[in-house]
Homo-oligomer: A and B are copies of this chain.
């Protein structure tokens, strides 16, 4: 098992890059982009959050450009989606009523997994670099939402973080939990993965139940 913080961080990073890169690659296919467009969007979605995290913490160059394993994870995700997309769609056509056939549901599941992993990873790295509790929590949240945000801005769709269901909240909660665990001396690979699972579950439940935050009252549209 994982015994030290460095390897825990690396595993979290590779998993997070992989799932976010898959989400980026699928969005790219949906937009009709070619192989290189798919790879670019996979890279941006997978590594964007970590790049923001590293810039915020003064880690230069960001691990996203210096660690070949992260690059390999993003490229693998992009190539995988490129090669398997046709097969997958054929399988979906054979089962027209499957709920998971909607591409957007798959993207949201992957996005939820990336959100969970990067919230914890962001907070861990920030604590490791001596950031205070508030900074570590916010950096965890920003790391989690950053990649998806860049993906959506480049693909010109409404950023997930501004959509209706709870999105940044589970990420911030997960990062705050990591900060609390460290403060209590309970931070270990096991509890860190527990925080990942918690964020993922909250986010998936929020999407499934369409849990919305309240909106400001608007009597009539006013420009």
Contact = CB atoms under 8 A, between A and B. Distances in A.
Interface string A23-53: 0000011111111111111000000000100
Interface residues of A, number: 73
A101 B169 CA distance: 33
A216 B81 contact: yes
The interface residues of chain A, by DSSP majority, are classed as: helix
A89 B212 contact: no
Nearest to A145: B40
Given A36-B168, A56-B60, A212-B34, A162 B28 contact: yes
Interface stretch (A113-121, A127-135, A179-187, A197-205): A127-135
Nearest to A132: B66
B104 A223 contact: yes
Nearest to A167: B36
A220 B94 CA distance: 13
Contacts of A156: 156, 158
Given A55-B60, A85-B218, A154-B159, 6 more contacts: A33-B215, A56-B62, A58-B61, A61-B135, A65-B131, A89-B220
Interface of A: 28-41, 51, 55-58, 60-62, 65-66, 68, 71, 81-83, 85-86, 89-90, 92-93, 101-104, 126, 131-132, 134-135, 138-139, 142, 149, 153-156, 158-159, 161-164, 166-169, 212-220, 222-223
